[in-house]
Amino acid sequence: MIDAIYNALDALGAGARAAFSPTGLPNLVMIGISLTMFWLAIKKEVEPLLLLPIGFGCLLANLPLSDVMNIPGTNLPNHEGFLRVMYDMGIGNELFPLLIFVGIGSMTDFTPLLARPKMILFGAAGQLGIFLTLLVALLILPYIPGINPAQIKETAISIAVIGACDGPTVIYVSNLFAGLGKIDHSMVGALAVAAYSYMALVPIIQPPIMRLMTTAKERATPIPPAKNKVSKTALIFFPILVVVLTGIIAPKGLPLMGSIMLGNFLKMSGVVPRLTQCSENEIANISTLFLGLAIGGTMAGQEFLKSQTLMVFALGLMAIVVDTVGGLLLGKIWYKLSGGKMNPLIGAAGISAYPMAARIVQVEGLKANHQNHLLMNAMGANTGGQIGSVMAASIMLAILKGMGLI
Amino acid sequence: MDNTTFGLTMLLVGMGGTLLTLWILAILIGWLTRLCDTSKEGGKP
């Protein structure tokens, strides 16, 4: 009897012993990180929709002796933790990011882009960060301890895609590699957190670069509103056009582009308000919750706290900065070629952070000229950035397919 | 393929391909908006 009581008490204390053992230290650090995520989400309102579930998943996965992310065949045979079930249900097969894209598509209005189609070129320039960061990552990663030399290309690509400034795209691409065993599953969590953190930090990252790269005269340049109106028929055919073009040029990106354009097609058709509302609300919300929890579940201390996680954050920041520089450079070239009829600030909106980047352009434009309302043109560039980021990822996947890497 | 060659190929073909594709898309959107004229149905400004 005494033995039974002792064993029972001993079992109750196992968690505390594990937490304060040397091997439990990384988990304690991760619990601290999850608490920081809660603070950022609740107190600072930084991407609360994502950071709260990711933080909670991270907390659950790092509590001592937690088996919520248990992989069959490890410490509890024939048992899968509930976060593992969620992971397999929608991240392992890339479903959740695509469902979120359906929601994003149904929330996006491409009218400003269709009114000024050339604005989409900013959406291309705003992807410079992806490709330049890829090159830099390929040069740096071989010198980072702990990175498998056979996985350098795939690791570099996964990090560079943070430059898409688009969480679902980052998760989709990195998980594709994780599924093929070409990067560690634990990296998907670091990549997702970096991507969403930098998306939230766009209002802090972009303005200094915008002011540094443009003169006061350039920033004050007004842009007349678009003269042409956009018909409903054009808005209905637009998603079909984009999907067909993607299918022809980069079919590997069709799941990404197809899902965002499906959401937009439902919205623009105007005949399925229930499906549109469902995409905007239920589908996007449930997918976001499950995706966040499952991503948080991959952030176990022993796997997450590695030198490569630091590289993910450092290179991810570089990608976003270079994206902004790329867009602004095109803006400055456009300003010169048009004889001062384009405000270079619009270039900074050519990233996928929608509608945040467009609003920043509007604010910076107004600071330089109180009569200068750049919002509609910036929205055109910003929606162009959404398409540009998905197109860049699609083209990247198409090239990798051509090279036999996927 | 070594890492530098791979990175440069991706930079040139990837960035170039993205620019070219979106430029083509800009042209197609221009055609689409002209084809679907608002004068027939009234449109959003």
Degrees to nearest 5, angle at CA A114 with A112 and A117: 105
Per the structure, the count of domains in chain A is 1
CB contact under 8 A, A139 and B4: yes
One digit per residue, pLDDT tens: chain A, 406 residues? Answer: 778 777 776 766 666 666 666 677 888 999 999 999 999 999 988 788 888 999 999 999 998 878 888 755 555 555 678 898 998 898 888 899 999 999 999 999 999 999 999 999 999 999 999 999 999 999 999 998 888 888 999 999 999 999 988 889 999 999 899 888 899 887 888 898 889 888 888 988 999 999 999 999 999 999 887 777 899 999 999 999 999 999 999 998 899 999 999 999 999 999 999 999 999 999 999 999 999 999 888 888 888 888 888 899 999 999 999 999 999 999 999 999 999 999 999 999 999 888 889 999 999 999 999 988 899 999 999 999 999 999 999 999 999 999 888 7
B12-35 residue pLDDT tens: 999 999 999 999 999 999 999 999
Tokens representing A254 are 């069709």
Tokens representing A47 are 């991407």
Indicate whether B42 pLDDT > 80. Answer: no
- Residues of chain B in contact with residue A125, where contact means CB-CB under 8 angstroms, are 19
Instruction: Give me the DSSP letters along A260-273.
Output: HHHHHHHHHH-S-H
d(CA A237, nearest CA chain B) in Å = 8
The reply to whether A73 falls in a domain is no
Nearest to A301 by CA among A11, A21, A26, A3: A26
pTM: 0.87
DSSP H/E element including A114: helix A111-115
- Calculate helix-pair angle for A95-107, A254-269, nearest 10 degrees: 30
How far apart (Å, rounded) are the C-alpha atoms in residues A342 and A300? Answer: 48
The count of other CB atoms within 10 Å of the CB of residue A2 is: 6
First to last CA, chain B: 51
Whole-number pLDDT of residue A65? 77
Does residue B11 sit at the A interface (CB-CB below 8 Å)? Answer: yes
- For residues A328, A334, A339 and A345, what is the CA-based torsion angle, rounded to 10 degrees? -30
Instruction: Give me the DSSP letters along A213-229.
Output: HS-HHHHT---PPP-S-
Compute the half-sphere exposure of residue A201: CA atoms within 13 Å on the CB side of its CA.
Answer: 16
Does residue B19 sit at the A interface (CB-CB below 8 Å)? Answer: yes
Tokens representing A162 are 């943070």
The reply to whether A27 falls in a domain is no
The reply to whether A171 falls in a domain is yes
The reply to whether A310 falls in a domain is yes
The reply to whether A243 falls in a domain is yes
Phi then psi dihedrals of residue B44, to 5 deg: -80, 135
First to last CA, chain A: 60
Question: Which residues are A230's β-sheet partners?
Answer: B44
**Which residue range is the domain that position A354 belongs to?**
91-402
The reply to whether A257 falls in a domain is yes
Question: Which residues are B44's β-sheet partners?
Answer: A230
The answer to whether the CB of A351 falls within 8 A of the CB of A357 is: yes
Whole-number pLDDT of residue B41? 61
Q: Would you call B20 exposed, middle or buried from its count of C-beta atoms within 10 A (0-12, 13-18, 19+)?
A: middle
How far apart (Å, rounded) are the C-alpha atoms in residues A122 and A346? Answer: 8
The reply to whether A169 falls in a domain is yes
Tell the residue number behind the tokens 């984009």, with chain if given. Answer: A242
- For residues A110, A111, A117 and A118, what is the CA-based torsion angle, rounded to 10 degrees? -80
How far apart (Å, rounded) are the C-alpha atoms in residues A29 and A22? Answer: 12
Question: A203: cis peptide before it, omega within 30°?
Answer: no
CB contact under 8 A, A392 and B4: no
What ipTM does the predicted assembly reach?
A: 0.89
Whole-number pLDDT of residue A55? 93
Whole-number pLDDT of residue A19? 64
Give the torsion sign (CA, A133, A346, A192, A278): negative
Does residue B16 sit at the A interface (CB-CB below 8 Å)? Answer: no
For residue A356, CA distances in Å to A306, A317, A379 come to 32, 17, 9
Compute the half-sphere exposure of residue B22: CA atoms within 13 Å on the CB side of its CA.
Answer: 33
The answer to whether the CB of A279 falls within 8 A of the CB of A272 is: no
Best mutation target, B15, B37, B40, to test chain A (most A CBs within 10 A): B15
Q: Choose the closest CB to A232 out of B10, B22, B41.
A: B41
A335-363 per-residue burial string, b: 16 or more CB within 10 A, e: under 16? beeeeeebbbbbbbbbbbbbbbbbbbbbe
Tokens representing A171 are 């998760």
For residue A306, CA distances in Å to A65, A135, A137, A159, A245 come to 21, 22, 16, 15, 40
The reply to whether A4 falls in a domain is no
How far apart (Å, rounded) are the C-alpha atoms in residues A334 and A75? Answer: 60
Q: Choose the closest CB to B22 out of A123, A153, A230.
A: A123
